[in-house]
Amino acid sequence: MSILSLQSLSLDYAEAGTRQKRRVLDGINLHIASDEFVIVIGRSGSGKTSLLNLAAGFTEPSEGRVSVDGKEIDGPGADRAVVFQDDALYPWLSAVGNVAFPLKLQGIARAERQSHAEELLAKVGLEGAGHKNIWELSGGMRQRVGIARALASGPRFLLLDEPLGALDALTRSRMQKFLLEVWAGSKTSALLITHSIDEALLLATRVIVLAPNPGRIVADVRTEFGKALLDGKSVKEIKMFAAFKSLHDELTALIHGDEEEIAA
């Protein structure tokens, strides 16, 4: 079992045009084990993307350390794959070509990478669609290709920054279940960022709430509604659970509670 650890992490950004620094994340402690689906939720500007960029190794913390199994990371690595909201697929490559691309970079032979990429496409529900051009795919299908591509290097952690944010409501809801199934069927743990409370509650085994100014963790709650979804309960049924409603209310208050005050 692998553990991705963010320890005593703080991040400062330089204020534009000044010599001053602004603290964007403060004292973050988060340990993610390989069987977890951790969702980070918080208002816009609370530092969610900054947190993911640190975990991915795209940026370095101002204080603290990021490690995988106790070893400090020194940048991006094949053990952590990242999926963004508007993930750019390579338009000159077919769907299968996109998924096989990271394998090509790893020096894997053509026939082998082709067959592995086909397997991954099947895993994300795109069996037989490998030959399609990127522009022939719907938004949901593109995100599936992006996720298959992220899985290609066999990462231990899948880091997703609002991956479903650009999809229409119906596709988004289908993709939520799909993501849950991919996670359940792989040995990859997930760290997903969203600002949808429903999405967090439906998918996560653990919900982390970030409060802004500076970004800090104000709640760390275990949830198990995803299990009900995987067991075939409908989203509608799950949302009627008393436990779902009360946790939804709690998270709403925590994330948006002082908004009226700000408006007043």
Give the length of the chain: 264
Q: Nearest distance from residue 46's CB to ligand ADP, in Å?
A: 4
Q: Tell me which residues in 37-66 interact with Mg ion (CB under 5 A).
A: 48-49
Q: Nearest distance from residue 198's CB to ligand ADP, in Å?
A: 18
Q: Does 130 contact ligand ADP by CB under 6 A?
A: no
Only segment of 42-50, 183-191, 234-242, 246-254 that touches ligand ADP (CB under 6 A) = 42-50
Quick one: what does residue 13 bind among Mg ion, ligand ADP, none, with the CB cut-off 5 to 8 Å set by partner type? ligand ADP
Only segment of 31-39, 48-56, 196-204, 241-249 that touches ligand ADP (CB under 6 A) = 48-56
Q: Does 206 contact ligand ADP by CB under 6 A?
A: no
User: Do residues 66 and 41 touch, judged by C-beta distance below 8 A?
Assistant: no
Q: Does 42 contact ligand ADP by CB under 6 A?
A: yes
> How many Cβ atoms from other residues are within 10 Å of residue 49's Cβ?
18
Strand pairing partners for 4?
32, 68
b/e 172-203 (16+ beta carbons within 10 angstroms → b): bbebbebbbebbeeeebbbbbbbbbbbbbbbb
**Spatial distance between the Cα atoms of 87 and 147, rounded to a whole number of angstroms:** 9
Gyration radius of the chain over CA positions:
19
- At residue 46, what are phi and psi to the nearest 5 degrees? -85, 0
Residue among 230, 120, 139 at smallest CA distance from 181: 230
Q: Nearest distance from residue 196's CB to ligand ADP, in Å?
A: 13
Q: State which H helix or E strand residue 114 sits in.
A: helix 110-123
Quick one: what does residue 94 bind among Mg ion, ligand ADP, none, with the CB cut-off 5 to 8 Å set by partner type? none
Nearest-5° angle of CA 161, CA 69, CA 28? 50
Q: Tell me which residues in 231-260 interact with ligand ADP (CB under 6 A).
A: none
Q: Spell out, one character per residue from 1 to 40, where the chain touches ligand ADP: x when CB under 6 A holds, - when not.
A: ------------x----------x----------------
Strand pairing partners for 189?
157
Q: Which of 35, 45, 106, 218 forms a contact with ligand ADP (CB under 6 A)?
A: 45
Q: Does 189 contact Mg ion by CB under 5 A?
A: no
Q: Does 56 contact ligand ADP by CB under 6 A?
A: no
Residues that bind ligand ADP (CB under 6 A): 13, 24, 42, 44-50
In the complex, the residues that contact Mg ion under the rule CB under 5 A are 48-49
